[in-house]
């Protein structure tokens, strides 16, 4: 680093910028021993040649659920006769899409885009498992999105009943949900409830001391020495604790580092953190918007333009834009409400009974910037 505290063109304060990416898998995984033990208990039968126990993994966003699964799946993948597949249900939100992803992971190529029935796809997967004598553990990550699309019960029924329709198929299921308002068991069909008795593993929000510890390790690995002083790290941790989402803190460190480099400084200052926070605090918003379909994006933008208006008025504008009917519109409103992007509250209108009023859960400009 330059002695005057200024960076030259070919210098960087980062030792490894990838450490601050959201999908980075840390070498050490702290403050989650109890949760890892619970998951290991459910998965251990697979190592002995038996079907693993099913598990329900819950907790607020950014509390280490996906990282824990990735860590344990990484350990299992090296064992003979054990296969693991993690499905991101925000991307693959139908039963067919889930099984297409499983097929792709098992066979290492994608199934044909059309012309293959679900029954055929399912049979190829189960035949492979029995022929190869392999045990499969499927993680349905962000399974709440399957519920939002009304696909959860059919998907789970197929996975949980596989051994009945295809003798010898051994499949265990891990459900991961960040929607604490969603009662997973209650929302499932009775036929699924009767066979789904999961182990429950809860990931609470990290406290501020744990956040300092975890982010401190990222700082050591990601920044060069003396780039970020302890008081600045404490401020990052405090802002992260306010959101309850560790991913906000990780993204905040990266953006603060980039702000320091923009100033050609060899140290991250508090001002870099405060400036970066305006963007980093919306990391969960960016993630939610990224998973929306085109009609959902259009509706969200329409609500942004008619924030606080009644559902009927918003529908008229949405219908003019898309031509979609009221039934589909109502389904989309419910989806945006459940993923936490809008608030659809019922209010009593004099002379007209109850009506829904639609408002954004985030600042309108923040949403527009991400659409």
Torsion over CA: 22, 27, 31, 35 (sign): positive
Q: What is the pLDDT of residue 352?
A: 59
Structure tokens at 118: 């679900």
For the annotated binding site for ATP, the residues are 63-67, 206, 218
Residues of the chain with CATH 1.10.8.60: 17-21+207-289
Please indicate whether residue 132 or residue 278 has the higher confidence score (pLDDT): 132
Whole-angstrom distance, CA of residue 306 vs CA of residue 310: 9
Query: Could you tell me the CA-to-CA distances from 176 to 56, 90, 198, 357 in Å, in that order?
Result: 6, 12, 12, 31
Whole-angstrom distance, CA of residue 105 vs CA of residue 91: 15
Architecture (CATH level 2) of domain 17-21+207-289: Orthogonal Bundle (1.10)
Mean pLDDT of 133-153: 96
Beta bridge partners of 141: 88
Structure tokens at 52: 């693993």
Is residue 225 a contact partner of residue 15, using CB atoms and an 8 Å limit? Answer: no
> Domain 293-369, CATH 1.20.120.550 — does that match?
no
For the annotated binding site, the residues are 63-67, 206, 218
Residues of the chain with CATH 3.40.50.300: 32-202
Residues of the chain with CATH 1.10.10.10: 293-369
pLDDT band at 351 (very low <50, low <70, confident <90, very high): low
Q: What is the number of other CB atoms lying within 10 angstroms of the CB of residue 109?
A: 7
H or E element in which residue 242 lies: helix 230-243
Q: What is the CATH number of domain 32-202?
A: 3.40.50.300
- Comparing CA positions, the residue from 108, 74, 105, 76 lying closest to residue 88 is 105
Out of 110-124, 222-236, 280-294, least confident range: 280-294
The DSSP secondary structure of 255-267, one letter per residue, reads HHHHHHHHTTBSS
Query: What crossing angle do the helices spanning 270-280 and 246-262 adopt, rounded to 10°?
Result: 130
Instruction: Give me the chain's average pLDDT, please.
Output: 92
**From the centroid of its chain, how far is CA 179?**
10
Number of helical (H) and strand (E) elements in the chain, helices listed first: 18, 7
Residue 304, φ and ψ in degrees, nearest 5: -60, -35
| 274-323 per-position pLDDT tens digit | 999 988 888 878 888 988 889 999 999 999 999 888 888 899 999 999 99
Is residue 318 a contact partner of residue 298, using CB atoms and an 8 Å limit? Answer: yes
Beta bridge partners of 200: 56
CA angle, 362 as apex, 361 and 365 as ends, to 5°?
140
Is residue 163 a contact partner of residue 51, using CB atoms and an 8 Å limit? Answer: yes
| 235-251 per-position pLDDT tens digit | 999 999 998 999 999 99
Mean pLDDT of 254-264: 95
Could you tell me how many residues make up the chain? 371
Q: What is the pLDDT of residue 205?
A: 95
Q: What is the pLDDT of residue 146?
A: 96
| 177-206 per-position pLDDT tens digit | 999 999 999 999 999 999 999 999 999 999
Q: What is the number of other CB atoms lying within 10 angstroms of the CB of residue 296?
A: 18
- Comparing CA positions, the residue from 278, 293, 274 lying closest to residue 341 is 293
Winning range, highest mean pLDDT, from 9-23, 87-101, 289-303, 356-370: 87-101
Structure tokens at 84: 């693991």
């Amino acid at each position: 680093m330059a002695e005057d505290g200024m960076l030259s063109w070919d210098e960087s304060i980062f030792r490894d910028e990838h450490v601050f990416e959201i999908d980075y898998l840390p070498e050490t995984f702290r403050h989650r021993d109890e949760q890892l033990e619970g998951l290991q208990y459910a998965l251990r039968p697979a190592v002995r040649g038996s079907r693993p126990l099913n598990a329900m993994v819950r907790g607020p966003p950014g509390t280490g659920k996906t990282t824990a699964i990735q860590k344990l799946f990484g350990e299992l993948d090296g064992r003979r006769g054990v296969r693991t597949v993690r499905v991101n249900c925000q991307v693959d939100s139908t039963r067919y899409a889930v099984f297409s992803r499983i097929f792709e992971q098992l066979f290492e190529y994608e199934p044909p885009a059309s012309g293959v029935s679900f029954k055929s796809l399912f049979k190829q997967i189960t035949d492979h498992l029995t022929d190869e004598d392999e045990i499969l553990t499927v993680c349905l990550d962000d399974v709440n999105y399957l519920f939002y699309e009304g696909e959860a019960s059919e998907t789970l029924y197929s996975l949980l009943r596989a051994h009945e329709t295809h003798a010898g198929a051994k499949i265990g299921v891990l459900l991961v949900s960040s929607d604490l308002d969603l009662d997973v068991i209650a929302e499932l069909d009775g036929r699924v409830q009767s066979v789904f008795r999961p182990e429950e593993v809860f990931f609470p929000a990290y406290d501020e001391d744990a956040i300092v510890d975890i982010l401190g390790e990222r700082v050591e690995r990601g920044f060069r020495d003396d780039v970020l002083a302890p008081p600045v790290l404490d401020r990052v941790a405090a802002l992260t604790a306010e959101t309850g989402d560790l991913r906000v803190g990780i993204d905040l460190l990266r953006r603060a580092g980039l702000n320091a480099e923009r100033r050609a400084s060899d140290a991250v200052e508090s001002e870099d953190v405060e400036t970066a926070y305006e963007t980093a605090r919306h990391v969960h918003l960016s993630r939610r918007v990224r998973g929306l379909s085109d009609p959902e994006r259009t509706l969200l933008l329409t609500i942004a333009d008619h924030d606080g208006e009644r559902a009927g008025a918003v529908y008229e504008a949405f219908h003019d834009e898309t031509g979609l009917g009221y039934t589909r519109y109502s389904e989309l409103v419910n989806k945006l409400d459940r993923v936490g992007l809008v608030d659809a509250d019922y209010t009593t209108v004099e002379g007209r009974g109850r009506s829904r009023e639609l408002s954004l859960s985030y600042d309108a400009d923040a949403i527009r910037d991400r659409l």
